[in-house]
Amino acid sequence: MEVTLLGAGDSTGTPAAGCGCETCRAAKDRGISRTRFSVHVRNPDTDQSLLIDASPDFRTQFLDHDVPLPDAAVITHIHFDHLDGLGNAYRVFRHLPVHASDRVDPATGESVATTIRKRYDYLDAVQVEELPPYETREVCGLGVELVPVEHPPVDCYGVVVTHPSGGKLAISGDTNWSIPERSLERFHEPDLFLVDALVPAAFCENHPAGGAHETPDGTPKTFGSKHLTREGALALADLVDATEARLVHLSHFYPPSEAFAEPLAVDGERYEL
């Protein structure tokens, strides 16, 4: 598999619009961009491509990076920074199968698949395909599985993508530390793990809810209630025995001395699995 990280940023991206913080200034000075989260996976055996999450930055991501338009997509949850790029299907695709969970979310009263179907009913190209959690489906010649995680208050999923030759990509999804045991088993031993790491743990003091799921030394693995801290993401990568981990869904709340250090990812990184 050829994996391209189209967007390594959170819902605002870095640099954030209208922001003059030191980290955003440093990103501009270095020519570094973290657009809203999205991953491109190409199967060289079939010459087909899969898009995981449709970033609002879809247009610029595909103009900036030398990857083909996707033959199919997977949507992890209904927050705008993972979904609203589907609007780019207008006049770009004749047919785009979009795979999403069929599980009804108590918070919304409908599944992710149903929400997409309603929101993009004006786009003939968007063909929603319901995918039950923990069920592997062949898409673009790859195995694709939605893995439930915890991102309150909405239903949210990680993704596991496998190649017939044995390569395994795991994406944590937007999540806190309370990932179901069954999901941790599905994430186990990926060749590449892309892990939500919104902020460094020290930044939890700036959240009204603070941090949660602390280590024995008091380091929060969850920021507030929705996302992993950097330290939580690294602990999760260790827990699932990832061969390589890259931290994604990054905010501009990392101090500039830490914001561009390994293993924090930036847009355009490529991997061969």
C-alpha distances out from residue 69 to 39, 73, 125, 151, 226, Å? 12, 10, 14, 29, 31
**CATH number for position 71:** 3.60.15.10
Residue 11 CA to residue 130 CA, distance in Å, equals 25
Percent of the chain with pLDDT over 90: 100
User: How much is the pLDDT for 230?
Assistant: 98
Domain count, the chain: 1
Helix (H, G, I), strand (E, B) or coil at 25: helix
Mean pLDDT of 264-273: 98
Band (65; pLDDT cuts 50, 70, 90)? very high
Mean pLDDT estimate for the chain: 97
pLDDT tens per residue across span 202-250: 999 999 999 999 999 999 999 999 999 999 999 999 999 999 999 999 9
CA trace torsion 223, 230, 81, 14 (10° rounding): 110
pLDDT tens per residue across span 16-50: 999 999 999 999 999 999 999 999 999 999 999 99
Mean pLDDT of 102-114: 96
> What residues form DSSP beta bridges with 105?
110
Is 188 within 8 Å of 179 (Cβ atoms)? no
Q: How many other CB atoms are found less than 10 A from the CB of residue 261?
A: 10
User: How much is the pLDDT for 150?
Assistant: 98
* DSSP character string of 156-216: -EEEEEE-TTS-EEEE--S--S---HHHHHHHSS-SEEEEE--B-GGGGGGSTT-EEEE-T
What phi and psi values does residue 181 have, to the nearest 5 degrees? -60, -40
Range of the domain at 19: 2-272
